Amino acid sequence: PSFKLREVASMYFTMIAVFLVILVVALQGSVPRGRKPLDPEGLLELSWNVSYPKQAVHFQLLTRDLQFGLLFGMSDRGEFENADLAVLWSDGHNSYFGDAWSDAKGQLHMDSQQDYQLLGAWRTPEGFYLLFRRAFSTCDPKDYLIEDGTVHLIYGILEKPVRSLQAINISAIHRGLQRVQLLKPNITIPELPSDMKTREITVPDIVIPSQVTTYWCYMVELPDGFPKHHIIMYEPVITAGNEALVHHMEVFQCAAKFDSFPHYNGPCDSKPEELNYCRHVLAAWAMGAQAFYYPEEAGLAFGGPGSSRYLRLEIHYHNPLVFKGRHDSSGIRLYYTATLRRFDAGIMELGLVYTPVMAIPPGEEAFILTGYCTDKCTQLALPAAGIRIFASQLHTHLAGRKVVTVLSRDGRERQVVNADSHYSPHFQEIRMLKEVVAVFPGDELITTCTYNTEDRNQTTVGGFSILEEMCVNYVHYYPLTQLELCKSAVDPGYLHRYFNLVNRFNDEEVCMCPQVSVPQQFLSVPWNKFNRDVLKSLYGFAPISMHCNKSSAVRFPVCRASQPKP
């Protein structure tokens, strides 16, 4: 469709009359899902609704300063090459809207199958609105498949007229990306109790550093004698004007074994070492996420005997335009009640142990590592009635590309707990599951992570550093059990055999000296095809070392030095 910009302006009052009719028809069965600023200056804002009955998303773009058009779309990891795009452009006289795609060189092409359906366009004093619809799946090979996990949204702003779609040079326009979960589950919000209280954990009017990336830490102390409560909900508190700068936030509770922690307010990379013991997640939010509600039968306990009074707020600021002097008092608002619900909720770690025996060679496009929570562990540690997983937070470091956890019973895969095929370590949030997952004694929970190390020339080992790797799923469940960590790693003895094999079949020797650490041995491996394939095979068949731990870090007796891989 084409229309003149002046016609759009003249149509405004007519649109006001018919827009509600269009919206009601278009959004039947839809549930409000989200709103998100796309660019750091807040000039471009996205709102969206999801219609599960019609398997479609309705997008509304607000641009506060429309010039000669815009691009909006999706791609695998936020690239502008091989992207699926909706484009509005003007040649200075007429304006056009169309479904387009970009090739591997970034050249735009009109799609022969028009799947972005324009529903309306109108001006208000606030700016220019564009409303359009897109099905989850279109059966068009040029289109992006909208799935449950992370979606990389891309945008571009046209500041000059263009004579045609093909004349748009996407490398020369103002552009960027944002990450969201478009397909939030349709969950009924529980009724909140009358005795509910709130507590805001916010930074005290800090000045956001004038650099692209900052992690800010702030310590909070609960009142002495603070009794046990249940957290039943939390939501973000964002300082007005900073919506595009506050990338994600987490509230951690400190370890109860320490009587006190230093008060600190500053960059996390300069925090006191003691604050590393503040790692129990109470709340996590990422840009684009809405309020988080616990199921009506459960709440997350905090306060009371055996619970630390110290909390650490961590905020990631993303400031690509390097704004200076921007004040912020953002954080998270906790909703809690003294009327305890039927169940205490818990958080359990699944996946791989933080150990260098799990490693990824350099130059890998899609290297897979898997961690296990075995049937022996769940048989011993879970109650007879099982547990119910209702939310999940996936986690890797910078090389992570995909994460999935599946439930296995009697040797067969039964259910996907959580999966993200477009996972990004820069967008981590606690996500409600579409349906509660029941886990019973004897079940297995298998977590698989896919990594990309094409930009690295050295081995990436497991560990805590951001340049090391993790593979974790923090599952939120009820009722609370003693099982806090159910993870695995390859049997270290078999890895030792791998290094011996490398020495036998390669000219370059890997030092097996007792004083040489596993990371050092990995660094000396010559990464030819043989050594890569053997390591992949080792991780695929070797016995595992199982960590089935209580919250005290004491292992359940089922854990032996080595177990067969499930």
| Catalytic machinery residues | 215, 395
Residue 314 main-chain phi, psi, to 5 deg: -125, 125
DSSP 277: G
3-state secondary structure of 435: strand
Per-residue b/e over 270-301, b at no fewer than 16 CB within 10 Å?
ebeebbebbebebbbbbbbbbebbbbeebbbb
Angstrom distances, CA of residue 127 to CA of 43, 67, 113, 120, 121: 9, 11, 30, 14, 11
Element (H, E) at 529: helix 529-541
Q: Give the residue from 258, 304, 306, 314 showing the smallest Cα distance to 281.
A: 314
DSSP 303: S
Q: Which residue has the tokens 């003693």?
A: 482
Cα–Cα distance for residue pair 186/131, rounded to 1 Å: 22
In this structure, what token pair is assigned to residue 344? 């205490």
* Cβ–Cβ < 8 Å for 182, 288: no
Cα–Cα distance for residue pair 271/468, rounded to 1 Å: 20
Cα–Cα distance for residue pair 359/451, rounded to 1 Å: 10
Q: Give the residue from 541, 513, 400, 418 showing the smallest Cα distance to 462.
A: 400
Cα 517 to chain centroid distance, Å, stands at: 33
Q: SS3 helix, strand, coil % of the chain, rounded to 5?
A: 15, 45, 45
Q: Give the residue from 415, 421, 502, 479 showing the smallest Cα distance to 181.
A: 421
* Cβ–Cβ < 8 Å for 414, 389: no
